[in-house]
Structure 1
């Protein structure tokens, strides 16, 4: 039985392997892909003729001629990665080797409606291309990582909660971006693109099974199995927030589950708890910030935490312990090698991160024989935009 991949598949496999490794020889490629030497020669010739790859000097000799080394052509084309989030959004420009050429980040406020957002992004795109002396036709695509729920196939942001500006419902973001820039645009949820980005940054570790969990305004998650993002029949990015961890517990919103994780671990949950306790007589925040209980904001809690307020620390650590239970539930189902944690709560204080890990580990089945690695990732706040650009790069027709 012939197990050799088709020519088209082989060509893309060759290209992606060169990209992932950085610089490789033909012998390296032949050991990776089950094709004949003559077929490999033809594919390398085609890739060079199409300007997708280029020779990169000679490697060390192993007894004969020094082998020719190959790398992808970093200037063949460019990608934009766009993050659409509730607190901040960002835009990155990347070359073919996924090197970031520029990054721009801005706060999402009450004026950042979808129309204003698209105008803002398109202006930045033109500015960045001008700064790097690039033309619009050199851009292969825009990858968008956004908060859900989404319709990925149609490129629509459906009904996300908690945007400061109005109008973020049923937004055909891919169509709007293409109309504004002329560049093809592609959409996935931000948790998926963040995981793609972190997996790429850690590619030399050859990780196959990963979990990404973001704890911020909402709880978002993504899973990777055998190096591929797992997509459900519906966009399930925010479903982790509806994981029930206390059957008789509170709920955050009218449409949410009672005792759901989001009611204990989210920006809104912390604000709600602090406001409730202030109404019951806990007046540190009220007196310090001259604010009514209903006006207590997350920024105040962060400020208190940074100043080592015992009350703020206990509030965050209480959330961290609940977060650890939620993580343990996910780990016991998926058994990942690595769990990437992100979001404003995870980054609020090192003790939040460590407490969540400790609770998760204590409640992980097979612990300590099975100990997954916990990390804040390598790309951190750039992960969503990087992964969004990478999504377009991986989907590119070669």
Structure 2
């Protein structure tokens, strides 16, 4: 496997990395502003700017407004310096994107994660599509920094293994040496983290000019996944606990978890795709009337897609089930707010993108149950990148290696 340290070595020294990072965090910036932000001398900064420009890492992008003397030269990151692949591996779909250093998407493709989509099937597809994208856009492999991978946890991000994820339809996803497999086939470095962490990296980078210091991300879908960024850095625990938010106990004598190792009364048992489908099946078996009955022959055939279709028709049962799940999710969200006190919460995943009712209900419940409200004001968002967040964030993870010491 190619070493990711090769990426960091593209920028020669600590001060050059510092200047480059300052430039990348802003759309354009003048030398005067860089002097204020870096605290460097004029001669040192001038030398570093010339060095970064000659390498093609930054560009001179015109002149700023005059403050009485000569108009200052503006600098910006060169998005065409290199390119990155971002890969999402999730339970319902996997997605590959090709981006430049400005995180502008040049190409992308996704695959539905069916019962046949094992690593032996998916990895060759990823390699084939990555090579097709490079050929289509005329990009030599030498111009690719690497591939970032955001996968369902738990993962061993240091050694590049997907460990033992739950609820994949296909077999073979235990202890997958995913970074080595892709790095070997493509001839580029590969990095791995769990998908919640890559998603919050993407959202944090997208709003890098804003003043939010503490961001919480929750992905609500087949399971519940969370991550947090503080001062622009992902917070890591002793082990990869991406899915642990789903094990939050909200009812001590509640329903058993679908996994025998899960907690009774866990949040995930009340607010997830599985929980919503289970509630709908149970209600229909009890004889409840619903538009769902016109979509299926048997209650066991109900899927989340059916429920969303019924919700669009304002079906009372669908509204009731989604509202109840969102209420439980809001309670769990309030618990996180009362412990972590983030400034902003970004919520993504199928439960959020599939239903405005879920998002509005959950956030209203969370606000009502948050301690110190209204003195403590939290901002809720669906995020700016939507379904692209996990894959784009995986690319951001690779880009960040340029400034790593």
Q: Provide the TM-score with structure 1 as the length reference.
A: 0.95
- 1:233 aligned to which of 235, 238, 262: 238
- 1:339 corresponds to: 345
- 2:173 corresponds to: 168
Q: Distance in 1 between matches of 2:93 and 2:50?
A: 44
Gaps of 5+ in 2: 1-11
Change (3 A) 1:125 1:32: same
Q: Distance in 1 between matches of 2:293 and 2:74?
A: 67
- 1:12 corresponds to: 17
- 1:310 aligned to which of 316, 336, 341: 316
- 2:90 corresponds to: 85
Q: Distance in 1 between matches of 2:68 and 2:189?
A: 48
Q: Which has the higher contact order (CA 8 A, sep 6+)?
A: 2
* Offset from partner CA, 1:243-302 (integer Å, 9 cap, x none): 001111112221100010001011111122222333333364774244333332222222
Alignment of 1:270 onto 2:270: no
- Judge conservation of contact 2:213–2:230 (CA < 8 Å) in 1: yes
TM superposition shift of 1:340:
0.3
Give the match's secondary structure for 2:350. coil
Alignment of 1:157 onto 2:134: no
- 2:325 corresponds to: 319
Q: Distance in 2 between matches of 1:71 and 1:56?
A: 6
- 1:361 corresponds to: 367
Alignment of 1:371 onto 2:370: no
* Offset from partner CA, 1:132-185 (integer Å, 9 cap, x none): 111111111100111111111111111111112221111111111112211111
Alignment of 1:124 onto 2:129: yes
Give the match's secondary structure for 2:352. coil
Q: Provide the TM-score with structure 2 as the length reference.
A: 0.93
Q: Distance in 2 between matches of 1:290 and 1:38?
A: 73
Report matched runs for 1:379-398 at 5 Å: 379-396=385-402
- 1:199 aligned to which of 201, 204, 225: 204
Q: Distance in 2 between matches of 1:40 and 1:352?
A: 50
Give the match's secondary structure for 1:314. helix
- Judge conservation of contact 1:320–1:356 (CA < 8 Å) in 2: yes
Q: Distance in 2 between matches of 1:281 and 1:63?
A: 79
- 1:66 corresponds to: 71
TM superposition shift of 1:335:
0.7
Report matched runs for 1:46-61 at 5 Å: 46-61=51-66
- 2:217 corresponds to: 212
CA root-mean-square deviation: 1.6
- 1:247 aligned to which of 226, 249, 252: 252
